[in-house]
Structures are given as structure tokens and as C-alpha cells.
Structure 1
Amino acid sequence: MSLADLLGVFLMGALWAPAALAQAAPSQLERGNGPEPSTLDAHRCQEVACGNVLRDLYEGLVTEDARGRLVPGMAERWSVSADGRSWTFVLRDNLRWSNGEPIDAGQVVASFRRAFAPATAAPFGELFDALDNAQAVQAGKLPPERLGVSAPDPRSVRFRLNRSASLPALLTLPIAFPVYLPAVETHGAQHTRPGQLVSNGAYRLAAWTPQANLLLEKNPRFHDAAAVAIERVRFQVTEDAAAELQRFAAGDLHITEVVPPQPLASLRARFGSQLRLSPYLGAFWLGLNVTRPPFRSDACATQDCDERALALRRALSMAIDRDKLTRYVTGLGETPAYGIVPPGIAGYVPATTTWATQPQAQREAHARALYRHAGYSSDNPLVIELRYNTSTPHRRLALAVAAMWRQTLGVQVRLRNEEWKVFVQNRKQRTITQVFRGGWIGDLADARNFLAAFGSDGPLNWMGYDDAAYRERLAKADAAKSETARNAWLRAAEQRLLNDDATIPLYFYSSKHLVSRRVRGFESNALDRHASRWLSLTP
């Protein structure tokens, strides 16, 4: 071969390097993942971005298959007592951490105790209120050793509950993942960094470039490693949905986390079967900080003050045209919401606002009357801040809501856009927030999962909602002897919350992704969870 020929081959190789790399390394999955994960500490995770990564890094006693069905995880089997209050999980043989050390039941118990220790401040701890002593341990009233979890032998983990509950579904949450405690003791908060994070799932953390991506590599010590097809997974930070779509179109991503608001017909024409839309157990709402004015009047304690604050909250809710929001602003299968719990949960009939069936013109007229009753007018307009995290869809929605409030009521809205970690912290502190982006993505198919946060002063009660009658209804649901009675009390609790207008429901989610034709094994499911271990890539 001549020098010219050799040079031509070299140049062709350089020109086609991306394609050549794709052929040489067909087993790296590129996933859009939304904002930068706030943490990779499984016990402290509270959002989808970290949950997606953690479900690849870790495995709990129970896990989910590609269709969202509960299947054995670390535990090969489990059983429950006749009264539903004692669960025993039997571990698989030869479970190992990613560093090769063995895993036994004692380590699982110790990890649970760490999860509920007050210093951990696990945000999802309140979802385990059925676990014996869990709330008292998390509040520091009892030592972690009193938590209702024990290890009768090296392969058995036993849970004691104070009421019957669907424990296996709860054990799929990141708070129930085993954390390698020697790394926590040695590195503290830095135990989540590459080279220091020890996990037990299908993948291990190889690299983390802040505000860019996280690279995971296959964990050869995972008990089902032989069935894991993809060698590496890169989770890309993709806060800008429009930019994420362009990266997918350019071939830089195999799966997007979201799809930006665009006409559905044009998306289908452009991407065909790569556009995946399906029902999703998620609710989007705006939260109102009811611990501070103007949504709670601290200037006086009279009933009239409370009525004016309630009138204002309801006026803002009624002034929003949800049909327009879901048709023209979101437009990808979402449905208008007038409640907190989305449809699709077996046996549960969701509650709704008392005015949901009114025509929009009638709602707006009522909203203007309530606005005046609250003490506001064109000469004395309400001035509020609407806070949301960085995201193209969230910005579009905030602009639309602000325009509706201005047009219908004359409200002056200041939009506040914050990076995810800052937004989460401000929302949790309830100090400077007034109206903020809220919502809930179901952790399990249970109405209580959408309602529990409003029943305590925990880190997930971003509005500061405090109502004894609401808590009483939740308690009666927990004590109910039948599923029918339980759902009836949960519905009564949801109705109480809606009547108090502490939140402004906007829409129920649909899951929406762009999925490359190269990806196999991507199955729609109600909780929209897609662990990489179930996926594969065609060449």
C-alpha cells in the first residue's frame, strides 16, 4: 500500500471516528437524566434524578422487573405472618458488595438503622411509618437498635410492623437499599464519590463529572451479572429538554428523560415509534407556603383572616385553565388535575375539587369574587413569587400560569428560576418560598404514598400544611380492617386537603421518552422505572 493510500485510510478513520467508536463499543448506554443528582447517598435521595442512578448502583431485598412487577432482589423469597405484621426475607447465597466483600443479614439491618437515624435525615423515612418504632427512632426518641428490623440468622431479615402494610413495594425505594457502612465511617459524606462508593447492584460508579455526567460500569460481583447485557451506562445531566431532544436526534443519547413541549403530531412525524408515551402515576401541582403571608395571615388570628387567606388560595387555583395548559403548554398526553392522587390505583376513587365540573368562565368569575374578598384589586394587586427549578417545560408552565393570573385577577408574578439543589433546599426550608413547583411521582401504586407527606411536619411537607382533621383521617385509614375502608378514609383525607387549597393541582403526568431503535427491553410501566440491567443495545 502506498503512502497516499495509508494517509487516505488514516484520514477516513479520523473522519469516521464517532461511528467507528460506536461499532467498537456498542455496549455503552447513553441516558438523559434531567438535573444533576442532589446525592448518591441512597438514604438521602428524594428525587427522580438520583433514584434513576441508584437503581442501577444498588439492589434492595425486593426489586422490579422491566414491566414494574415486584421480583426477588437480594432476597430469594419472603413470607408474611397471618396478621400481616411480621415479614421475613431470606437472602440469596453468596451476595457480595462491589468490592468483593460478602453481604449478610446483619449488614442489611445495620444499614436500615443508619437510614432511620436522626443524623441521616432520610426524607422518605416517613413513608415507613408502619415499621415498628421508625418514627420514634427518626425523631431521636428511641435508639436505632429499637427499629423494627432484626437478623434472626445471617441469611434472614425480619421486619415488625405496627399495622399491616405492603412492605415488599416499600423495599424497592432507595431508602431501603443497603449502604456499605465502612465507607460511610471512613469517608463520611464523600462515600458517594467514585472510588469510594461501594454498591451491590448491577453497576458500580466509575466516574462523576459534576453538571455533566455520571459513568457506571458493570459490576462483575452482582449476583445476576451474567444476565446484564450493557457494559457501561452514562447518565447525562440534561436540564434543558430542548437541548436533550437535539442530542437524541444527533445520536448522542439512546434514551431521553423527558420530551420538551411540542405539537404531538410533529414529534410523531419526526421520531415515529421512538416516541414513547404512556400513563404514569405522577401528579404536578403548585405548592403554597401556608406558614407565611399572604397564604396565612400572621397579623391576626381571627376567623376572618383565615377566610381571606383561603379565599386567596382558591382564587389562584380557580383562575388557571388546566385544559389550555395540557393542550397547548404540555401537550404530550397529560390530563387536567383537580386532585392530588392520580387515577389508575386499584380500588381507589380519587377526590376532586368541589368546582371541577364548572365551566372555565364560571370558575374565573368566582375567582375574581374570591380575590376581592381576600382584599385585593387592581389598585391593590397581589405581588407574589413563583419559584421553579431550571427546566424548559417548567419555565413554559410558569409563564403560562403567571399570564393566566395576570389576565384573570391582575396578580403581579415574579418568576424565580433556581438550579435544582438550591430550589430543593429553599422549598424544604419554607422561608422565602411563596408559590413553588411541587408534585409527586409515585413510589408505589398506593394513594397513601401521595398523601402521607401532608400529615406530618417532615421534610416533604413543603407547604407546611398542618391540619388535625387531615391527620385523623390518615390515622383511621391506617387502622382500617379492610382495603375498602382504608381507601375510603384516604379519599376523605384527600378531600380535606383539597378543600383547604394548600396546593393547586394542575395535571397528571404521562411518561414521555425518546428511545432509540437500538434499545431493547424498554417497557412502559406505571412508575416509569427503567433499570439499565433489563436493557440491551443492538449493534
Structure 2
Amino acid sequence: MSPGGSGPEQLEEIFEYRFTRLDPVMGDHIDPPSVAVYETLLTKGADGKPRPGLAAAWTVSDDGMSWRLRLRDGARFHSGAICDAHLVVEALELCRWADGLPRQVWYWDPVDSVRAVDDRTVEFRLLFPCARLPVLLWGTHTAIVNPRTWRQLGSEFGAVTADGTGAYRLVEYSADSVIVELAGISTALALAGRPRRIRWRSMPDEAERVASLEEPEVSAVRAVPLSRVTPDDPIWRFDTQAENSQFYLALNFDAGFGDRGLRRALEAFIDREELADEALEGRGDARRSPIPVADEFADSYVDSSDRALSHAEARAELARLGFTPDDDGIAQRDGWRLEFECVTQNTDPFRSLAAVVERQLLRAGVRIHFTFHEPFADFYRAVEAGPPAFLSKWLWPDAMEAVMGFSRSDCIEPGGGNWQHANTPAVDETYDRFLRAEANDARAASALAQRAFMAEMPYLPLCSPTETLAVRRDVLGFGLEPRTLYPSYEQVTFAGGSTGLMMGAT
């Protein structure tokens, strides 16, 4: 218990990856601690509607070209600096340009300018009316940092210290463990019985995560295998839901895969049901679709006119393109063999998926040599080197924005996520229509974009996993939330008072 005996001390959560530094601007990944340390201007409600975040209120002009957001009174960074509109704008510009990119980051595309109207008001001026601007404003990659601290610390920001406005401040960081504690500005949360400290431990090995369920100090465990989920467990509550993410195979257009017919022929040999059964314990989303079943626009796409080719049609297409079997059965054309490297992440799910994809494409006369890289920095550097292919997964609160960012032609790095150097203008046009669609037209615009994606194949979608979270039954107000990256930590309490534990740094 706390020295005064008045409340819980620590929530301890097991995470399936090693941690990257807590930097929304330049960090390699967004991990759960960032959700506790930083705030976004808006938050995403369970109904998909915007809710107050760092901004307490907002208005939209009649023509939809201006959004004004009023900051919460009394907001301060953990360093004690007042969080005013001028610093928020400076922080947003860091996120928008990633501190020096020649093109603004792709999810900022509707925005023309951002300015401080006064000390408490931030205005976004748009290039066109965009009903989906809140997707930008609640995105974790636009979380608000103190830009002055960010510039002062450089690459040490998010490791030595992290200066946000969230309920918790960073105490200790390493790739294996992160500890935060209630910030001085969060007295109300402490009085309400919230955990005074949260510790996350990295545990990439699945067997170790299962074993951690026996550790009395552990409060929650992410990515528990479905085979371990037992609804009547007396100690643990197991949350499961379709994850708003997607595994995909990206083929580098610059490595010979720019031909639409070739991509469609190879896609015909991807058996998504087999992938889900063997690599995802039979509990993944195996639909042939650009976006996962968890997303709000999932049911607006119907696999019809852009159906997959049969194996016979695919082999005929490969023959039309001039490919014939080599002596060992590998398809070749004028000395170019469909045998190539594919980089992916060195984790259990990716290794399982890679083994199945390798076997499936060998049926088409394609031999893939997988190389495995640690997430996330090592893997990203390997992808940026331009290999012929890579197997990856995006995890994003809003699937349409993820698909657009990781496939549209004008989002080739830097400034975007199109590492496969895709060039599909017909798809880009439908994305623009989606961004410009009024709210009541968004579903039709999404359906059009998804059909164009599947017809042109900027990358090959594979399957989407089911996410799991084990939470001790005495931990209240904490669990999986639909179409979000990670749960919020501000509503957590403990049944019966304190955990009685104090772990980690002091």
C-alpha cells in the first residue's frame, strides 16, 4: 500500500514486443506507455465519434474548411511548462513534417495549415472539407509533446525523459521495461484510487508470457495464446476481439512486380483460410479484403467483380506473361527467376505465417527466402533498403487510413509508408474521393476504394489476428477497446484497494 495506506500502487502489464523510446515524432513504434504519457487533441469514443482529449471543445466552420479546438484549461507538460496553443502548434508541426521531411506525413494530407488563434485555441485550415479530420487528431502519431524539450534532448527524448501532458510521467525506460508514475498534475486520479505507478515488461516469447500468468505481481498480459484462454479462470479475465490490423505481403514494384497481372497471379495461390488455421490458431479474419473485419467499413466491400483468379487462371496468366518452369520448377522468364528474398519480423506469428506463405507460393513456382529481423527498428531498416518483398503487419485505429498510407503512390518514403514503391494511380484517385466524402457518403466511397485496391493489388492482404488480453479479476476499468491500439489507463482501479506491491524504480 501507499505510505498513507490509501490506495493501489502499481499495475504491471506484460507486452509482447521490446519497447521503443516514447517519441511520437521519430520513434519506431507506438507502445502502450505512450498512451499513458501523452495526450492527443481528441480521443476516439467507443462509437467511433470524437471525444475531448487535450482539446476540451471544438467547432467546425460552415464550409468545413476550418476546425478550431479549445485546449483544456490548466494543461501543463510534465516539466511544468504551460501547454499553450503556440507549443501545441509547434508540436503538431514536428509530427506533420517529422522534423524535416520534404513532404508532410501522409495522414496530414487534408491539412493546409495549423496556427494558434490565441493562447488556448488551435485552428486547422484544410485544403478541402474533410469529415474524417478527427482520425488525424486522435491518432497516436499526433500525440502532443513539449517541442522545446524534444529539440533539447534530440534522440534521447522518450528514453531519458518524455515531456507530455498525460496522467503519467516517465520514470524509467529500457527496451525491456518501462515505468511511469502519476504526474503531479494528476492529483485527482490519485485520490480516485488510480494506480500510482504502471510498469510494463517486455516478453516476446509466448511461453514466457503464459508462465507470467503465475506471477502474483502481474496485473495484465497481452497476446496470450488463444489455447490458454479459459473463460471460467478464477484469477484471470480474458478479453478477445478481432484486432484492427492486417498482415500483408508487399512486392517491390521496382524489383519486377509492377505488373498487375503478375501480382494477381501470385495472389491466387494465397490460401487465407490455411494461413489463419495454421498461423493464427484458426481464430483470425481470413476474408479476402483490404481491411479487417473489426473496422467500421469492413462490410462495405464485397468480393465480386474483382474476384481472385483460380489456380488454372493464374497459371495461364503466368504463361501469358512469358513465365515457364525452370528445371527445378521455379518460374522464370528470360533468366529472371521468381526466387527472391522477403524480409519479415523475428516473432512467432511472423515465423508461422512465413512458413505457410513460403509453402503456398511454391505451388505457383515461386521460391521465397525469408530473412528475419528484430522489430521494429531493425526490421524497418531492412525494409527501407528495398528488398524484393517483405511480410509485415499494420496496426492502426482506422483501417482505411492505414491502407491508404501503406499503398498509395504518392506516399513512397520519405513522408509515407509505401515501401513497396507501388504506383497505382487508379487506386490513388479512389482514396482522394474517400478523404473528400461527406460523412453520409463515406461507406460508398470506402467500397469504391476497396474494390480498386483489390483489382490493382498495391500489396497482397493476407489475414488479421484476434487480439487477447488477460487481466486479473481484481483489476477494474481495464480491457480491450474496439478499434484502438491500446486500452486507456486513466480509468483503472483495483477491487478491494491496494495491490500491496511496489516494484521497479523508486
TM-score by length of 1: 0.79
Q: How much has 1:373 moved relative to structure 2?
A: 4.4
* Pairing partner for 2:374 from 405, 419, 434: 419
State the match for 1:172 in structure 2. 138
Q: Does 1:342 align with 2:292?
A: yes
State the match for 1:267 in structure 2. 229
CA distance in 1, matches of 2:431, 2:265: 27
Unaligned runs of 5+ in 1: 1-18, 133-147, 297-305
Q: How much has 1:202 moved relative to structure 2?
A: 1.0
Q: How much has 1:45 moved relative to structure 2?
A: 4.3
3-state SS in 2 of match to 1:37:
coil
Q: How much has 1:503 moved relative to structure 2?
A: 1.7
CA distance in 1, matches of 2:372, 2:35: 29
Q: How much has 1:251 moved relative to structure 2?
A: 4.2
Give the residue type in structure 2 aligned to 1:183.
Answer: T
Q: Give a deviation string over 1:398-453, Cα, whole Å, max 9, x none.
A: 112212223x23433322110111111222x252x223223332333x63443244
Q: Give a deviation string over 1:166-207, Cα, whole Å, max 9, x none.
A: 33332122332222122223222212223x322210111111
1:347, 1:487 within 8 Å by CA — same for their partners in 2? Answer: no
State the match for 2:247 in structure 1. 284
State the match for 2:502 in structure 1. none
* Pairing partner for 1:191 from 139, 157, 171: 157
Change (3 A) 1:185 1:505: closer
Q: Does 1:215 align with 2:179?
A: yes
CA distance in 1, matches of 2:477, 2:129: 34
Q: Give a deviation string over 1:12-60, Cα, whole Å, max 9, x none.
A: xxxxxxx9xxx9995322222232334422123464xx24221111112
State the match for 1:6 in structure 2. none
| Number of positions where the alignment pairs a residue of Structure 1 with one of Structure 2 | 476
Matches within 5 A, 1:301-450: 306=259, 310-331=260-281, 333-343=283-293, 344-345=295-296, 349-350=300-301, 352=303, 354=305, 356=307, 363-374=310-321, 375-377=323-325, 379=327, 380-381=329-330, 382-406=338-362, 408-420=363-375, 421-427=377-383, 429-431=384-386, 433-444=387-398, 447-450=400-403
Q: How much has 1:394 moved relative to structure 2?
A: 1.3
Q: Give a deviation string over 1:87-119, Cα, whole Å, max 9, x none.
A: 111122211111222211111112112223363
3-state SS in 2 of match to 1:42:
coil
CA distance in 1, matches of 2:25, 2:185: 22
Q: How much has 1:467 moved relative to structure 2?
A: 2.0
Matches within 5 A, 1:487-502: 487-502=443-458
How large is the RMSD of aligned CA atoms in angstroms?
Answer: 3.2
CA distance in 1, matches of 2:51, 2:193: 16
2:167, 2:490 within 8 Å by CA — same for their partners in 1? Answer: yes
3-state SS in 1 of match to 2:427:
helix
Change (3 A) 1:241 1:369: farther
CA distance in 1, matches of 2:477, 2:122: 32
Q: How much has 1:281 moved relative to structure 2?
A: 2.6
Change (3 A) 1:453 1:501: closer
CA distance in 2, matches of 1:449, 1:167: 14
Which of the pair has more CA radius of gyration? 1
1:448, 1:490 within 8 Å by CA — same for their partners in 2? Answer: no
Percent of paired sites with the same residue: 23
Q: How much has 1:127 moved relative to structure 2?
A: 0.7
State the match for 2:482 in structure 1. 526
Change (3 A) 1:339 1:116: same
Q: Give a deviation string over 1:376-415, Cα, whole Å, max 9, x none.
A: 4252513222321121111111112212223x23433322
CA distance in 2, matches of 1:405, 1:24: 60
1:66, 1:522 within 8 Å by CA — same for their partners in 2? Answer: no
TM-score by length of 2: 0.84
1:38, 1:45 within 8 Å by CA — same for their partners in 2? Answer: yes
Higher helix share goes to which structure?
1
Give the residue type in structure 2 aligned to 1:464.
Answer: H
2:70, 2:120 within 8 Å by CA — same for their partners in 1? Answer: yes
Give the residue type in structure 2 aligned to 1:218.
Answer: L
